[in-house]
Structure 1
Amino acid sequence: MRFKDVFSIIGPAMVGPSSSHTAGAVRLGRIARSLLAAEPQWAEIGLYGSFADTYRGHGTDLALIGGLLGYDPDDARLVRSAEEAELAGLKVTIKPFHSPAAHPNTAEIRLGAADAVMTVRGASIGGGNVEIERVNEFDVRFTGSYPTLLVFHVDRKGMIAEITALLSGSGINIGSMDVDRDGRNGNALTVIEADAALPGDLLSGIAALPDVQSLRWIQTMEGKP
């Protein structure tokens, strides 16, 4: 993880007990909710490594559920998020797995609403920071700490150039970009972390490009989508 500021060391404002097991877990849930782009009706959460071993004692289960409800890491409702989810009609199942994971604090969240389904796999890497490592079938990496655009599209020549040209034309600087595809000329996912929020007309322009299937975005800064 790259050093960004002193808050990366001292951690975020949060409901305890752990920035990794609580605040980071909240943010994983929030990112999954943002990428579904709908009010989730159900979620299946798999836990790996330390998350699987200690999730009840550290409140990781409640933190993930709170994130799915859109709570912040310092929201006092986190301690009763399971009850709040039931009241909201959100059905959550949590299952620990004791198979190896790339990071000890890893969660895989599959969630849905009506016909929309999204799978997000990520890890809480310390200080309330997270790293997403997989979205649906695509292996991509991003943090959710910056305005982030996900473009699901057909893999074709010139697609990346067309996306980045629109970003440049709107004065948006790209901080990082990751691309994965399921095969040559198949489906692909491009993830772009930007230095500024993405205006609505820019999102509309990218969505209108030929062979773009759908967009997802996280607009806010500092890991709070």
Structure 2
Amino acid sequence: MPDSQKHALIVGASRGIGLGLAETFLRRGWQVTATRRGPAPGLERLAAEGVQVETVDIDDDAAVAALHGRLGHRKFDLIFVVAGVLIEADRPLSAVSRAVHAKVYLTNAVSPILFAEAFRARLAPGGTLAFMSSVLGSVALNTEGGWENYRASKAALNTHARSFAARHADRDFGVLLLHPGWVATDMGGEGADLDVATSAAGLADVIEARAGRTDLAFLDYRGETLPW
């Protein structure tokens, strides 16, 4: 008998929005596989409730290949690459070392696409490939500057994702770039507009509403389209 339960792979779920997404989809009846790079007490709690926890560093090709092997031939209705870094984003471009710029660009813009290339065959027909982007990645909305290396890395992620979608124009899954809102996490900091539960629920609503679509979109957690 076919398995009617939806399957999600949340990449980068050790804390914050990634952890919130893992919990949200679990509560909605999905079977969830969630990854961490290191210790993740919150994720271990969800493991006791049925979440399959795996370890991977998306900047490590061998680790990604090993995860691919461990997951066998499993198909996913959702693969959501959440993993990212925020390093010295409050400093202007000229005040940040080349090594930091390279790290931010690699982790936020390149590694998510390389992960997608490695796992795209694991998406079920009508499934969704999602990347955690940001409204800061919108070039059109960048009128005030700031958050320079992070902003640029998310704009680059958007560009790479559009190229990925064009390269795989015959795909049978959708591609989403999602802005979670300004969320109160270690990355989002104090004074944020949203808590994790609200953001994760909104993102999950958007993903579930677009199930079966195969187009590309840049949306926020309310489902509103953002300008590139």
Per the TM superposition, whether the score is higher than 0.5 is no
The alignment's TM-score, normalised by the length of structure 1, stands at 0.24
Higher-RCO chain (CA-CA 8 Å, sequence separation at least 6): 1
Structure number with the higher helix fraction is 2
TM-score, normalising length: structure 2: 0.24
